[in-house]
Structure 1
């Protein structure tokens, strides 16, 4: 049976014209047992479409790990390191992940208590919610009526020492059904997005760059981001913005000397734009919560200076300025019409290009609602490629 592609089930809120190339459902293959030729087709499709959905999969942790590893055969460790999350319980990721003992690259995530699961006698899972991370929260009364928020827009990446994974695989084992919710942006725009309960929301990094005005395209193509050491520990006392797109500047981040031991050479400085290895497109790929500094290259010789931002280059260390610039560039792409909120079914497998999309957990579950997913991503064998000299000439 030949591989068949079907459009993703877009919600009425989505602008279909912006999803012409984003996301496909794949039929006709078993993702847990791909032939070499089938995998090559799937690999190319992933980089072209950013997210692939496989329905009704039977997938063991070993098969999920093997599939994920096939995209980067020399990778070995889970994206944040095997059997650890930043090596400390201070990390904000620590409560969200439980490692499958025999396949430490695969994590059990979800909500509620799971018994006798893949070598885990008991796993108490907690679906991360904006109520514990944002500066403000939806009121309990509004939450009871179905209002919620994005938790945190991000890329799956340690952002320290380890390279950002190329792909993430997410497999739904137990998916509770319930009343849909309304995701509120609560940023003064009035934006809201109807979402299925417990959706994973995706946006395209390519679209994030494509819709920018020329002066912000110029800034993006010339800029690199320096992330904080141990960023998930660094931000552990801070609060997120109501859109989940970055941190409020309240001075609550830990000072660098309060962090676990760190080395300068392990600190990550990455391009704002990551180049797609198949299409050559540029994807705006910044984890706004972990960003600490921006390093802007000057305009290339002969470039138009009128209206340009930082034409002579800059090293921006003021955290508030860093966050405001990133928010200005990233916020347009999480508008309701540009978000794909996946409506999970049991045995859904979503494979996404972690270097081409941003995603967010959404919503909240009651303590007794059991949800169980397997997640796998692997710290990559290389850093993401940034814009080429030709890209800089074109966009700067």
Structure 2
């Protein structure tokens, strides 16, 4: 049976014109048993469409690991390292992940208590909630009425020492049903988004770049982000914005001297824009919560300086300024009309281009609502590729 494609089921809130190329449901193949030829098609489709959905998939942890690894055969360890959190409970990631013992590259995530699961006698899972991470919170009354928030917009990446995974695979095993919620932005815009319970929300990094005005495109194509060492430990005492898109600047981050041992050579500096290996298009790929500094190259020779930001280049170290600029560039792309909130069913497998999209956990579950997912991503064998000289000349 040949591979068939169908559009993803967009919600009424989505601007369909912005999702023409984003996301496809794949039919006609078993993702756990792909032939080399079928995998070649799937790989190309993923980079073209950034997210692929397989319904009613039967997938063991071993098959999920093999599928994820096929996108980068030289990769091996889980995307945050197989100890996940730099061997410290101070990391904000620590409560969210349980390792499948026989396949340590696959993590069990979800909510509630899961028994006798793939070698785990008992796993207590905690669905990340904005209550533990945001500076402000939805009131208990509003939450009871269905209000919620994005938890944290991010890329799956250690952002220190390891290269960001190319692909993340997410497999829904136990999916609790419940009333839809309304995701509030609570940033003064009045923006809100109806979402299914426990959705994973996605936005396109390609769209994030495409909708920028010329002066911000020029800045993005010339800029690089320096991430903090051990960023998930560094940011742990701080709080997030109400949109989940970055951190409030309140000088709460750990001092670099208080972090686990780190070396300058392992600190990651990535381009703001990452080049798609199939389409050649540029994706705005910044994890705003871990960003510490911005380095901006000067305009290339002959470029117009009119309206340009930092035409002679800059090294921005003021955290408030860095975060403000990134937020200005990223916030338009999480508008309700540009978000795809996936409505999970049991045995849904979603593959997403981790170097082409940002995503967020959304919502909250009650303690007795059991949810179990398998997640796999692998630290890549190489760092992302940024804009070419031709890209800089075109957009700067």
With the length of structure 2 as denominator, give the TM-score of the two structures.
1.00
Q: Is the 8 A contact 2:78 2:84 kept in 1?
A: no
Aligned equivalents of 1:9, 1:81: Cα separation in 2: 34
Aligned equivalents of 1:84, 1:42: Cα separation in 2: 28
- Show the counterpart of 2:167: 167
- Show the counterpart of 1:73: 73
Q: Is the 8 A contact 1:108 1:374 kept in 2?
A: yes
Q: Is 1:267 the counterpart of 2:267 in the alignment?
A: yes
- Show the counterpart of 2:242: 242
CA drift at 1:376? 0.1
Q: Is the 8 A contact 1:86 1:232 kept in 2?
A: no
Segments of 5+ residues of structure 1 without an aligned counterpart are: none
- Show the counterpart of 2:110: 110
Q: Is the 8 A contact 2:112 2:367 kept in 1?
A: yes
Deviations 1:286-337 (CA, angstroms, capped at 9, x unpaired): 0000000000000000001010000000000000000000000000000000
Deviations 1:232-263 (CA, angstroms, capped at 9, x unpaired): 00000000000000000000000100000001
Q: Is the 8 A contact 1:167 1:353 kept in 2?
A: yes
- Show the counterpart of 1:316: 316
Aligned equivalents of 2:123, 2:83: Cα separation in 1: 15
- Show the counterpart of 2:325: 325
Deviations 1:250-278 (CA, angstroms, capped at 9, x unpaired): 00000100000001000000000000000
CA drift at 1:85? 1.7
Aligned equivalents of 2:307, 2:86: Cα separation in 1: 41
CA drift at 1:86? 2.4
Q: Aligned with 1:104: secondary structure?
A: strand
- Show the counterpart of 1:294: 294
- Show the counterpart of 1:341: 341
Q: Is the 8 A contact 2:32 2:63 kept in 1?
A: yes
Q: Is 1:132 the counterpart of 2:132 in the alignment?
A: yes
Q: Aligned with 2:103: secondary structure?
A: coil
Aligned equivalents of 1:197, 1:175: Cα separation in 2: 10
CA drift at 1:84? 3.2
Q: Is 1:3 the counterpart of 2:3 in the alignment?
A: yes
Deviations 1:49-78 (CA, angstroms, capped at 9, x unpaired): 000000000000000000000000000000
Deviations 1:27-49 (CA, angstroms, capped at 9, x unpaired): 00000000000000000000000
Q: Aligned with 2:201: secondary structure?
A: strand
Aligned equivalents of 1:367, 1:322: Cα separation in 2: 38
Aligned equivalents of 2:302, 2:27: Cα separation in 1: 50
Q: Is 1:101 the counterpart of 2:114 in the alignment?
A: no
Q: Is the 8 A contact 2:31 2:57 kept in 1?
A: yes
Aligned equivalents of 1:135, 1:28: Cα separation in 2: 46
Q: Aligned with 2:257: secondary structure?
A: helix
- Show the counterpart of 1:142: 142
Q: Is 1:358 the counterpart of 2:355 in the alignment?
A: no
Aligned equivalents of 2:57, 2:304: Cα separation in 1: 53
Aligned equivalents of 1:87, 1:267: Cα separation in 2: 17
Q: Is the 8 A contact 1:86 1:158 kept in 2?
A: no
CA drift at 1:358? 0.1
Aligned equivalents of 1:319, 1:245: Cα separation in 2: 15
Q: Aligned with 1:108: secondary structure?
A: strand
Q: Is the 8 A contact 1:199 1:361 kept in 2?
A: yes
Q: Aligned with 1:95: secondary structure?
A: helix
Q: Is 1:207 the counterpart of 2:207 in the alignment?
A: yes
Q: Is the 8 A contact 1:293 1:316 kept in 2?
A: yes
Aligned equivalents of 2:355, 2:98: Cα separation in 1: 24
Deviations 1:89-137 (CA, angstroms, capped at 9, x unpaired): 1000000000000000000000000000000000000000001100000
- Show the counterpart of 2:368: 368
- What CA RMSD, in Å, does the superposition of the two structures yield over aligned residues? 0.4
